[in-house]
Amino acid sequence: METGTSVSNNSGSIRNDSYEAIKNGSWFNQFRNGCNPWMARYVYGLIFLIANLLAWAARDYGRGALRKVTKFKNCKGGENCLGTDGVLRVSLGCFLFYFVMFLSTLGTSKTHSSRDRWHSGWWFAKLILWPALTIIPFLLPSSIIHLYGEIAHFGAGVFLLIQLISVISFIQWLNECYQSQKDAERCRVYVMLLATTSYTVCIVGVILMYIWYAPDSSCLLNIFFITWTLFLIQLMTSIALHPKVNAGYLTPALMGLYVVFICWCAIRSEPVGESCNRKAAASNRTDWLTIISFVVALLAMVIATFSTGIDSQCFQFKKDENDQEEEEEDGVPYGYGFFHFVFATGAMYFAMLLIGWNTHHPMKKWTIDVGWTSTWVRVVNEWLAVCVYIWMLVAPLILKSRRQPTSGT
């Protein structure tokens, strides 16, 4: 009995050692050692990229093929409806695949378990499951697809919220890393340099947006967007530097970069023909710059989904050191269920980008996230990012004041 137990323990330790070697190895080593969770996340990211390309092809070049399908013959929106329906059907198939993976891997906590092997392996079965789930939506009636399109608005919003929290958590983690370094004086110089550079880029970005997107005083909406962004940067900096908060210069500077970028994306999403948008994302001609911008935006969205999916720690409560040590021995490297949930909502998000968040909005070739609905989604996302950041700054103070006993007791 003791011999059997020792053998099982030895085999378990060998498996853990091999996993540790793969984890600490190079990117090539993770693929060379076959099925493991580090290799699997890249494969899922590749599947997600292929789904994005299929949705884009269905929108821009699939109208001729979709027109032959009987389900589309009575499409009231003509070719644009066919393109929108094609995007939503590919998105639905991608969502179903990752949602099935989410349900089947939710709660996985130990490596070498059956659900860990299902997440990291069984690729032959998944190569059958994924195409099947991609084809099934093309056999469904348009009413179901339109219902999915409405639900996808909510799912895409959930994805943006998760991504937002992940970005803010990364900024705070970066600030804590700088503050915890041994060489405090040297790190302080790096922090000041990075913060100064970030604020400089913010100011230059705001000035350029005024020049490009607010050429005269009649562009009131763009002036409001840009001016309000400048005010939000000042607000975040003032709260972060308050003596009771004392969050330093770095986090508000990096958040300033983030909100300026979102504001720029929002104004660029305004439709073509607007006199205030001289550099609109949509263009009457398709040139190499438009194509490069589309490809970069598509790859950025896939990378953002991938990086958010493996960042499940910022959504977990802090645990005791003893429990954390036990989990690190044979615990999963990242939350599998959360990983697939992010990709499932990301499938809804890329559908909204490709159709401009509007199922009745025509999209031109090589464009992404263009339209007034896209603009306002970006603007609200910017404001929400500031609210979440400010709350993460003041929440500890509020909770601390509530925990303190009142003077009367």
pTM beyond cutoff 0.85: no
67 falls within a domain: yes
| pLDDT tens per residue, range 25-73 | 555 554 445 567 778 888 898 999 999 999 888 888 876 666 666 555 5
pLDDT of residue 51: 92
Q: Which residue range forms the structural domain that includes residue 104?
A: 31-316+331-400
Structural domain count of the chain: 1
14 falls within a domain: no
pLDDT of residue 167: 84
21 falls within a domain: no
Residues 6 or more apart in contact with residue 384 via CB below 8 angstroms: 161, 164
26 falls within a domain: no
322 falls within a domain: no
| pLDDT tens per residue, range 355-385 | 888 877 667 777 777 888 889 999 999 999 9
Q: What are the CB-based long-range contacts (under 8 Å, 24+) for 236-245?
A: 236/386, 236/389, 236/390, 239/390, 239/393, 239/394, 240/393, 244/397, 245/393, 245/394, 245/397
pLDDT per residue as tens, the chain (409 positions): 444 444 444 444 544 555 555 555 555 554 445 567 778 888 898 999 999 999 888 888 876 666 666 555 555 555 555 678 889 999 999 999 999 999 998 888 787 788 888 888 888 899 999 999 999 998 888 889 889 999 999 999 999 888 888 888 888 877 777 766 555 566 677 788 888 999 999 999 999 999 888 888 888 899 999 999 999 999 999 999 988 888 888 899 999 999 999 999 899 888 766 567 665 544 455 556 556 766 777 777 787 777 776 665 555 544 444 544 444 556 777 888 889 999 999 999 999 988 888 877 667 777 777 888 889 999 999 999 999 999 988 888 888 777 765 544 4
50 falls within a domain: yes
2 falls within a domain: no
Distance CA 196, CA 227 (A): 20
22 falls within a domain: no
pLDDT of residue 11: 44
pLDDT of residue 94: 95
CA angle 87, 164, 314 (to 5 degrees): 115
